[in-house]
Structure 1
């Protein structure tokens, strides 16, 4: 029997992305799957129902009841989980560290849930990596926000009134978001420097035409992420960074570790030492912030006139391309298991096994299991 794949409208405030695009729906149908969507499932990303050729358009409750596989951008609500059949499959960005009750509901409904942020960071997994695809949008948008808020031009300009010096921009963190931010700031003509505690990023930063800011601290880790700094390393980094920040007009911070609070990199004292009118854009504001005092979705102005812009869900601000990339990521993950319209999960495949959050009434991800057990003990 053909697998039925469903998508509904995202209900999280401000979320404009769609988990299923017309392009991906067509590809899934070509692999033998049946597709059902809620009316308006892609409307906020400018994908009309009519663009989903050969797809059934239903009410949300009907789509959920029919779903063998449920595709999501934001984690499913408790109501959506309750509406799914036992044994259904959920695939999306599930944020299990933020809501133990959601993981418990998935477990209790015997839902097989794949949290795409748990996907192993391997070469084979790159085409499925939702964190990277959406981080690219975030890095791009963050620099545009900074350029709009800055009281200076980004590029050097030669005018009848004299030469205007370019803005000095620092990008903190050289992951996907940081590298996209560096590239965007360079395109806008700024004088750009990049900083990361992982020494292997120096070549990547310089390949984009930026200067590597060396603070004398190295924290190479595993899986593409930095290890946690020691107290001595953190003190050395903060002292050196505080001095360097005095010369920058714009700072964009992008440091994040999935499933954990964002590392604090810039404290209030550093902000106080920056020049009046400087702008900081903190991409990590939603997960605790890289900058002391940043607030997700708000701009805070310090006593010395530094604007700290805490962003919220930047990928949703470019819903067309963000949705296209996200939906392709999910398709590439589904492709591992979808054969002639039937879904067959190969638990010997590490991409499937390690991305699994819940299955057959069990929590498969040990850190999340411990979190749920702790929450239960506290009830």
Structure 2
């Protein structure tokens, strides 16, 4: 008798080689005609990595468009302390990288940046809300990256390969190199963003990415149209064309206005680090196990189906934990966490005294 086929686990096993298939420079050349125009700058210097990993939020010397100095009041002593901090802080300058960023801005009109895997979307608040993530200068790019918690993932090799066998990481060849990706910026209609989940080369689920409620997404004809469009898009352009992932991956798509085609925004591992959005991975696993059994029809589409849906009732803005006033960022420049906390508390006391004496 033939041996029984083992059931798939909740998540596929990850190897360093598999994870590296998801860094931008690995998948973009293959799918560039279906994606957003982009420029990859690699390798980046160790000095640039150290800059991104250093304390404080500041831009390197020579980058134009530096935001104004803090408008918080400073007494003479704090001014002296600030001068001393400036002298002690290591100086950074990246004239060659500045030039490449300016070239990309000139080429595309505006750019939004990311590193190998992660984009600084949690820091979108630091640039004008009318044009989130829109960078017009090297200073804009550096400020976004420096203000982001998300991109820190890409700076630490242990975090990048945290799901892999440590011995496999040590023998990794070629080594992991940090890269800066500059993508052509344009306004995105978030109502047309989807995330698709593929396991063992089966398109299991499609989730709406925006947690807001939209009437048109709850029309049966629209849902059927999108399910068919995404299945056709995946079959024609992605399925079976990416052996390095072993058929396990997720991909983000921006639908065209007529909802019949899509543009690939990004690929991510089929792993806990990738947000399942309106699904759980347990649900997706159950759908995979029931593949081919009536009445299950794959892929399953999930959208926010009412204004009272849990995803639509979150009043807090996305990534609010990462939102602090720019004045506070200026105060953090070059300070440790404890020093910054003390300085912030002192500034709050001064502001309260000024208010009480007004």
Q: TM-score range by the shorter chain?
A: under 0.3
- Rg: which structure is higher? 2
Q: Output the TM-score relative to the length of structure 1.
A: 0.23
Q: Output the TM-score relative to the length of structure 2.
A: 0.24
Greater RCO (Cα-Cα under 8 Å, separation 6 or more): 2
